[in-house]
Structure 1
């Protein structure tokens, strides 16, 4: 059991026994010879006293030593057992959100029965939806990113300092060939692309770090993807990340720190490959164009020698910070060639629009989404290699409009895997002032739903509909029933 939890259990027991015996902290201080402030820290789970002090506490409280240090909870505190044993409670990064273990234990001690019920409810939800602790970790990480508007000045500064230490100009575009010597000479990591592609089990992996310090890269990775993998490995070392993933994608997540450090190392890589001052200048120039120019956008992206995903995600970090456009969402969709169902593979939603996602989502995303349209376009015209699209999207039921840019591209390891990345900006006064071509009539405006199952548009209003609006219909029926119930009750009251 975690040391924090051991301290908290002892603290709860001391507090409960003291209150049962109607002793104040000052009373217990006189009995034990310990200061009231020290006893208060024990009760809050901040301190774990030495053996002789625990013996003094046990004697003063009329409790057996073994019972006091036991991790078993009884009577009123017994309801906390499922809470303290819950993997979610033990591993969730409460400190990241300004909640200490002591804050949590004080809440649990005040309402142990309610906290026990909450823990069982969370456990049941996890089982019902096949949710693992790592899913909670990723949800916590996204919340952490949203709190910080996905901009982390400390990592930006470390990337700037690292560039300076290597003698690289502040705005220089770095490549895989620039990063490899630094990895090898400064951190003892060698690169090897001769193993993964032929591995009988792990040939789907993009990279694996071996115990002897070799970074194995899949031989099919492009230079931009290799550069990002090398930049992320540099990030792990520069940021001194102890807990980390050793493969990409990660097969198993043990702690939240692994998830957080993977994000921070990836952020470092993007900050290294796309220096923020240069990106800021390029975006200002592009946004001043009088009309939407897809060729200019692609040229700007390709000048950084990174993948579309890396470029778009970097924009989700810098646009809210530099252009004061806070309502931004990043989406990555995946679909197999020849299949209709798409998967939301990655998302960061800093907007006020609900984007359906989650474990086991069986609904059909709206085919009017630009993200899906560009994938369909790429499948119909694979010779293009990449499809760029732009759209003004009005979500049904939300009083807001988004300017969206999407790029679809084929998978690197399997060409039948099709992907799209999308960046959406809420259209407001700030965006209208920043993006001069926002009113370009060639940018199509479309009304969209979330999923076909939730959309109120009928077949005659939406040719893209793929299935019946069963969820919308059910919600409408429930709404009508509630209204009918209200009317009936009011009518009965009038007659009476």
Structure 2
């Protein structure tokens, strides 16, 4: 354990917290005995402050221990275990403060059951190592959990985007929106925009690159107008919200910190809110849901009315539907499809109010081809196509009572025509959905029995199967063995 200033503060705070807990002294009682405020004592225990020697002496007297015992770096076995874990690189990577946790909370858990909690943390570390979970992946998983905790709605960012739109009189149907966004970057923030990134050696695969020293935003000129608008709006989001710890590229080369990952999300959320107004989207979706029949053309018209890509639109629904329609149990999926090889992978996911299927924990398995997300890609998308396909389906799971209304959009990945992707919103069918969505029982909507992956599926009559049910067979064998053992022992 490296003994730097942070570690020394941690050890002192841990010792005070442990002694106070053992002696049954509250923070208020300790404050009365020492004359040190409750807030300051709290900061000491959280290892945020290191008091002067005179205050340490007062605390030592109140806890009935010597000054030397309190300032010594020697700890008992229990405290040492806690200190090592809290000062470890793994714990430093955890963005605890964004989940309402701090060292004090962890110390409480450790001091209550140090062996069990320490074993739990060590287990997480070993799982991360054995599954080769990178720091980048960990940060993105933490961000997704943060979004899910807030149902992916952030009122402060919505208000910030609305404030800028009003300040510069930005209208979503303005054909000159992109030039106006460029002008805001130049006049308000001193950032110039170039559309020649695709000509830079080794950088052609990037969509954008921000050069902070030159205050220049380079954008790939091959992108669509809506893609360019999003990048411009996102850069405005960084600048307007004063988000300094950030990535400089559209695609992550390396995640320097969770703060950078979080700020990238905040800027992206800002861009979505700027390009797709919350109030307008609520009004549009009320029109869609109030119809007694499903109309894909109506939805397509609405999507095309915004200066944003269909991905931004679908992702924006994950913020609006829980907040304004009470549809809390939903998921968002983005599948990427290589038209040449036929390979399909789950690239993005978000699950609100529970982990819905499918999800990305099934690596190297074949996702169910009965899902509209997959069938649209594999059956409807052709190389060079510019057409956006919209599909809808009621999906019920094998061996589950859950049924979802699934709306999916498949489209070519511009400017790479070799690839396509699908964007999907799945809504759990329940009484709230039945009340809000009038077309739920439209006979044109196909109902299908689906599963998670082919490898885990027990269906024997599936024409869409892409792989043998090896995981299901292995599970059956395991269950037979367990039953045989139990039967033998019960004889």
TM-score by length of 2: 0.88
Does structure 1 retain, via aligned residues, the 8 Å contact 2:43–2:49? yes
| Alpha carbons of structure 1 residues 13 and 335: separation in structure 2 relative to 1, 3 Å | same
Mapping for residues 272-287 of structure 1, pairs under 5 Å: 272-287=274-289
Distance in 2 (alpha carbons) for counterparts of 1:164 and 1:99:
36
Correspondence for 1:216 among 215, 218, 224: 218
Are 1:462 and 2:462 matched, yes or no? yes
Distance in 2 (alpha carbons) for counterparts of 1:256 and 1:432:
39
Q: Deviations over 1:224-254 (max 9, x none)?
A: 0111111111111222212111111121112
In structure 1, what is the equivalent of residue 294 of structure 2? Answer: 292
Mapping for residues 439-454 of structure 1, pairs under 5 Å: 439-454=441-456
Does structure 1 retain, via aligned residues, the 8 Å contact 2:391–2:409? yes
Distance in 2 (alpha carbons) for counterparts of 1:163 and 1:23:
55
In structure 2, what is the equivalent of residue 186 of structure 1? Answer: 188
In structure 1, what is the equivalent of residue 374 of structure 2? Answer: 372
Distance in 1 (alpha carbons) for counterparts of 2:41 and 2:393:
62
**Displacement of 1:53:** 4.6
Distance in 2 (alpha carbons) for counterparts of 1:408 and 1:177:
29
**Displacement of 1:372:** 0.9
Q: What's the C-alpha RMSD, in Å, of the aligned pairs? A: 3.1
Q: Deviations over 1:60-93 (max 9, x none)?
A: 855659x9365x7563323235412433311322
Distance in 1 (alpha carbons) for counterparts of 2:439 and 2:283:
17
| Alpha carbons of structure 1 residues 466 and 319: separation in structure 2 relative to 1, 3 Å | same
In structure 1, what is the equivalent of residue 202 of structure 2? Answer: 201
**Structure 1 range deviating more: 331-340 or 378-387:** 378-387
| Alpha carbons of structure 1 residues 381 and 197: separation in structure 2 relative to 1, 3 Å | closer
**In the comparison of the two structures, how many residue pairs are matched?**
483
**Displacement of 1:35:** 4.4
Distance in 1 (alpha carbons) for counterparts of 2:439 and 2:451:
25
Does structure 1 retain, via aligned residues, the 8 Å contact 2:393–2:447? yes
Correspondence for 1:239 among 219, 238, 241: 241
Distance in 1 (alpha carbons) for counterparts of 2:150 and 2:45:
33
| Alpha carbons of structure 1 residues 430 and 62: separation in structure 2 relative to 1, 3 Å | closer
User: Where does the alignment leave 5 or more consecutive residues of structure 1 unmatched?
Assistant: none
**Displacement of 1:110:** 3.8
TM-score by length of 1: 0.88
Are 1:68 and 2:71 matched, yes or no? yes
| Alpha carbons of structure 1 residues 82 and 361: separation in structure 2 relative to 1, 3 Å | farther
**Structure 1 range deviating more: 330-339 or 32-41:** 32-41
**Structure 1 range deviating more: 479-488 or 203-212:** 479-488
In structure 2, what is the equivalent of residue 362 of structure 1? Answer: 364
User: Where does the alignment leave 5 or more consecutive residues of structure 2 unmatched?
Assistant: none
| Alpha carbons of structure 1 residues 236 and 476: separation in structure 2 relative to 1, 3 Å | same
**Structure 1 range deviating more: 207-216 or 349-358:** 349-358
**Displacement of 1:440:** 2.0
Mapping for residues 89-238 of structure 1, pairs under 5 Å: 89-168=91-170, 175-194=177-196, 196-211=197-212, 212-238=214-240
Q: Deviations over 1:125-184 (max 9, x none)?
A: 111111123323222222222222211111111112211211335987883222111111
In structure 2, what is the equivalent of residue 406 of structure 1? Answer: 408
Distance in 2 (alpha carbons) for counterparts of 1:64 and 1:229:
58
